[in-house]
Every structure is written in structure tokens, then in C-alpha cells.
Amino acid sequence: MKYGISKTPVFMLAMLCLGVSTAGNELYSYIDGNGTKVYSNIGSRNSARPDIETPIESLGIDSAQISPEAAYYEDLISQYSSRHEISEDLVKAVIQVESNYDPFAVSIKNCKGLMQLHPDTARRFGVKDIFNPEENIAGGTKYLGFLMDHFDQNLDFALAAYNSGENTVKRYNGIPPYPETVRYVQKVKSLAGIQDSEKDLRERPVRINRVVDSSGNVTLTNFD
């Protein structure tokens, strides 16, 4: 079954497990430079800081957009996403986060091409020329489709596995607590226009940390 994308902007903070009162510390959200949604009590609706959005009760849709470079590979993405029953927007988002549409990109972990396939993964999914855009996209979408099936259509698990490996996701029974992987899943979903449902957010409450600096100022944030 093809993975569907919800267009309904539903967000909520499920629970704040704090041992102190949060009076005077209203939570706001903004998108940082990596496309990650940050929750914090720093700033206000009338703040001079341009990156502050609205209070957490009325979160909106992220403004991240798919790169225009995607147009060069539109036909290939459409062909192979359909073949492996993956949303085109999801494939475009993965490519953008992985390689920014550079067919010759090579990472420090030796992952290569548009969808940053490791040579072992490329061989596993029948890719002979890893720098050939068609072969690379074909192999990458096949791998992503495999991960979706392997993790029972759980998109978060599949994306986390694409970034950090299947065995890592199995070991943690979910998204591993690696900042890179957590942000990767968030950024891909944001670019693809995929938003968590109210049910998902209830079952996965946001963990808010309370930090007190040397001057006694209290900061509430979802980052460590």
C-alpha cells in the first residue's frame, strides 16, 4: 500500500513532566537552521527575534520546501517511487537531506550518490554504477521500500534505519537516541510535508528539559 501523506496540520504537546511550576515560562516553537523544530520558553509572540513562531498551542506547518533541483530527476523519482510504493515527496526529501541532489556526493562514511548509498547497500539492492542517477535512485527507493515493509510501515523507524542502520533501530526498538538520526527523521518528514497525527504525539510526548543558569534564569527546551 502506498504511504499516504496527511495534509492536516495537527500538533500538540502531550505532557510536561516537570517537577516545578512553569508559570511565566510559556513554551514557544521555532525551526532552527537544520530544519529541526525547537520548543523553548525563550521569546514571545511579540519578541524582536524573527525566528520565534507562535505559542505551542497553535503550531503551524513548517515552511521548508523541496529544492528546485528535484525537477531534474522528476521522472526517475516518479518511476521508482511508484514501483516501490513510496511517496514521491518522501523520496525527494530523502534525496535532499542525503545529498542535496548531488549525484557525485561522497560522505565521510563512504556513502555515495543522490540517496547516499553505502557500497554494501548498493550491491545488496542491485546497484552496479553507484554514481549513475537512475541506478542510485532505483536502489535507494528499493531500500526505502524494503525498510517500510520491514518495519511494518512505520515511517519513523524506516527513516531512522536509512540513516543509522536496521540493526540500530532494532536494538533501541525505535529511533536511536543519536542527535543526527533524530534530526534526520524530523527534517525528512518536514520537507516531505508529513506531520505527526494527534494520536502519534499523544503516544510520543515531547521531553522538556529544565536548565537553570548561574544567574538563576530558567530555560525550558526539548534539547539537552
Q: What is the pLDDT of residue 3?
A: 46
Strand order through the sheet with 28-31:
28-31, 37-40, 218-221, 209-212
Instruction: For the chain, 224 residues long, give each residue's pLDDT as a single digit of tens.
Output: 444 443 333 333 333 333 333 334 455 554 445 555 555 554 433 333 333 333 333 323 344 577 788 889 999 999 999 999 999 999 999 999 999 999 999 999 999 999 999 999 999 999 999 999 999 999 999 999 999 999 999 999 999 999 999 999 999 999 999 999 999 999 999 999 987 654 444 444 455 566 666 777 766 655 55
Q: Is 70 in contact with 56 (CB distance < 8 Å)?
A: no
| Structural domains for the chain | 1-61+196-224 (no CATH), 68-194 (1.10.530.10)
In sequence order, the 6+-apart residues with CB closer than 8 A to the CB of 201 are: 10, 11, 12, 13, 14
Catalytic residue among 85, 98, 166, 180: 98
User: How high is the pLDDT of residue 68?
Assistant: 81
Contact 160, 181 (CB under 8 A): yes
| Overall pTM > 0.75 | no
Predicted confidence at residue 194, as pLDDT, reads 87
Question: How many CB atoms neighbour CB 141 within 10 A?
Answer: 27
Task: Give yes or no: 98 in active site.
Answer: yes
CA 201 to CA 178: how far, in whole Å? Answer: 20
CA distance 130 to 70: 18
Contact by Cβ (8 Å): 58, 208: no
CA 24, distance to chain mean position in Å, is 31
